[in-house]
Amino acid sequence: QVQLAESGGGLVQAGGSVRLSCAASGRSFSIYGMGWFRQAPGKERAFVATIRWNDGSTYYADSVKGRFTISRDNAKNTVYLQMNSLKPEDTAVYYCAALNRPFAYWRTGEYDYNYWGQGTQVTVSS
C-alpha cells in the first residue's frame, strides 16, 4: 500500500501563487508515476498534471499549461505542484494520486491511478 498526504492549500488572490506538496509513504518504491487532479464544486474530478517517476518527464492539461509546474524529489518521495498566475476558476480541491505500474503513454484518467490523497482546498479570490 502507498499512503499519500497533501499539504499547501489555502486562500490566494487571483494572480498569486501556491505550491502544493504530496508526500508518499509505505510502498513508495512501487510508484511509477504521480499526478494531480482537481475537483471544483458541482464538477467531476479533472486531470491537472502528471510526472513519470524515473525520468521526471511531465504532461499537463491544456488549462494549466504554462502556469503550473509539477516536479518531484525522489529522495523525499514527494511530488509538488507549483501553481502560478492563479485564476478564480482554479478554485478546487486538489488531489494527488499515484500509479503503481509502468505506462507507455500519459495517464490522465482518475481510474488509471491506484492511490489517492485526501485532498487539499485551494481557493482563488477575484
Q: For 47-54, what is the mean pLDDT?
A: 96
Do residues 86 and 14 touch, judged by C-beta distance below 8 A?
yes
pLDDT-derived band at 29 (thresholds 50, 70, 90) equals confident
d(CA 69, CA 81): 6
pLDDT-derived band at 65 (thresholds 50, 70, 90) equals very high
Residue 28 has pLDDT above 80, yes or no: no
Do residues 106 and 93 touch, judged by C-beta distance below 8 A?
no
Q: What is the pLDDT of residue 49?
A: 98
Q: What is the pLDDT of residue 37?
A: 98
d(CA 21, CA 34): 12
Distance between first and last Cα of the chain? 40
d(CA 5, CA 61): 22
Q: For 68-72, what is the mean pLDDT?
A: 97
pLDDT-derived band at 104 (thresholds 50, 70, 90) equals confident
pLDDT-derived band at 17 (thresholds 50, 70, 90) equals very high
Nearest to 92 by CA among 51, 53, 34, 38: 38
Q: For 106-115, what is the mean pLDDT?
A: 94
